[in-house]
Amino acid sequence: MQKDMVQRFLEYIKIDTTSDEESKTCPSTKIQFNLAELIIKDLETIGLSDISLDTNGYIMATLPSTTSKNVPTVGLIAHIDTAPSYNGKNVKPQIIKSYDGKDIVLNQKNNITMSTEIFPDLKKYKGQDLIVTDGTSLLGADNKAGIVEIIEAIKFFLSNPQIEHGEIKIAFTPDEEIGRGANLFDVKKFGAKFAYTIDGGELGEIEFDNFNAASVKVKIKGCDIHPGTAKNKMVNATLIGMEFNSMLPINEKPEYTSGYEGFNLLCEMSGNVENCELNYIIRDHSKEKFESKKTLMLEIEKFLKIKYPVSEILVEIEDSYLNMKEKIEPVIEIIDIVKKSMLEVGVEPLVSPIRGGTDGARLSYMGLPCPNIFTGGHNFHGKFEYIPINSMHKAVEVIIKLIENINKDFSN
C-alpha cells in the first residue's frame, strides 16, 4: 500500500541527514544515503522506472510525457540534507490538531514554548493541523517537505494518465545547506529547459531574487614580544583584527537589515598576539552594492598595511553564488505561470527576496533557470520549525496545476 504524503513526511524527517561543512566528500555525510535509498524505493513503488542514484548522492528520475504537443521539459528539485546549524538527530514530531491560535508548549519538561508574540505568523493557522518539533531538534521540513510534495504530485500524474503533461524531470540533491548542492549537478543529464526548487517557506512564496554571496578570510600576522619590552616593537594581530572589524559599517550587520538590505557578517574570529583570522560572509541583492562591500574590505586591508607596516595582512575573497534574478528575468514567463497556477488553486502569490541562497541560484548560472516555490514551512533550521499540513497539500496542488498550465500555455 502506498504511503500518503504526511505519513511519508513523518517517516523522512526521522532520518538524520545533517550535512557537514567541514567534510570534503560528496555527499558530506554518508547518512544522507539512508534517506536517498528510501526515496528510490518510494519512487519505484509509485511507478517510476527511470530512476538513478549516483555515488555522490544525487537522485534523478523522469516522468515521461503523455502529450503529443511540443512541451518543454520541466524540472522539480529538492534537497535531502538538513542544516548542520541545529540538531537533526532523533526528531520527534508532534501534530497539533485544530491549532487554537495560542502559544504551543513543545516540551514541558524543558520548558520550551513557541510563542505567538515572537512568532506571530502562527496565528494565521488557527484551526489548522500543524506539525511541530518536541523542542530538542529541528523538524526537517527544509527540505523534506519539498521532497514529499514533489513525490505526491508525481504520484498524482501516474494515477491519472489521462491528464496530459510534458516530460517531467525530478532531482533530489545532497549538501544544499552547506552551499554545495549544485556542485556536481549534471545539468546536461537532467535535460530540463527550466526547473523549480520546491524549497521555499510560507504558503504562496515565489522567489527568484536572492543574495549575491561571497566568503572572506582576513589573515593577520603580528609581532609577539615579551610585554615587558614591547614598546615600539609589539604588533598585536588580534587588536588589528578588532580594528578591521570596527571599520565596517555598523548598520550593515545582519541584525540591522531586512528585505533588500545587504550585510557583512563576522562568523568567526580567532587569534593571539602573533596571528589572527577573521571569517566573514558578504551578502547583497544589488550587484553594485555587493561589489562595493568587497572593495571596502580590500581598501581597509590597504589602509591597515600602511598603518602597521611591520604586520602582514591578507584579505581573501571568494564568490559563493550570484543573484539568479539576472538569469530569470529574460524568461520571466516561468514566474508568471507560477503566479497564475497559484491563483487558480486559491493561493495568493507572495513574491519576496531570498535573504539567502538556493541550489536554484547556482543552477540558473549553469544554464538551468530555476526559481524557488514554497513548501509551507516556517522557522527553518531550529527547534521552532513547523509546517501546516494544509500548506503542504496546497504546495502539491500548485505543482500539479503548474505542470498542467505548462502543457497548455507553453506548447508549440
Give me the helices (H) in 62-220, please: 141-159, 187-190
Which helix H or strand E contains 301, and what residues bound it? helix 287-307
Radius of gyration (Cα) for the chain, nearest Å? 24
Give me the helices (H) in 53-205, please: 141-159, 187-190
The dihedral of CA 213, 147, 59, 400: what is its sign? negative
Catalytic residue among 81, 134, 142, 175: 81
344 is known as an active-site residue = no
Between CA 126 and CA 100 the distance in angstroms is 5
Cell of 215: 566568503
CA dist list (Å): 169 to 40, 70, 105, 194, 197: 14, 16, 41, 10, 12
Q: If you search the block for the grid coordinates 532531482, which residue do you land on? A: 171
* Pick from 166, 193, 210, 199: nearest CA to 334: 193
167 is known as an active-site residue = no
CA 68 to chain centre: 36
Which helix H or strand E contains 205, and what residues bound it? strand 205-207
CB atoms within 10 A of CB 46: 17
Catalytic residue among 176, 177, 207, 284: 176
Phi/psi at 172 (nearest 5 deg)? Answer: -125, 125
Between CA 353 and CA 119 the distance in angstroms is 20
The DSSP 8-state label assigned to residue 178 in this structure reads: G
Q: Would you say 410 and 149 are in contact if contact means Cβ atoms under 8 Å apart? A: no
Between CA 133 and CA 240 the distance in angstroms is 43
Q: If you search the block for the grid coordinates 548542520, which residue do you land on? A: 84
Active-site residue set: 81, 176
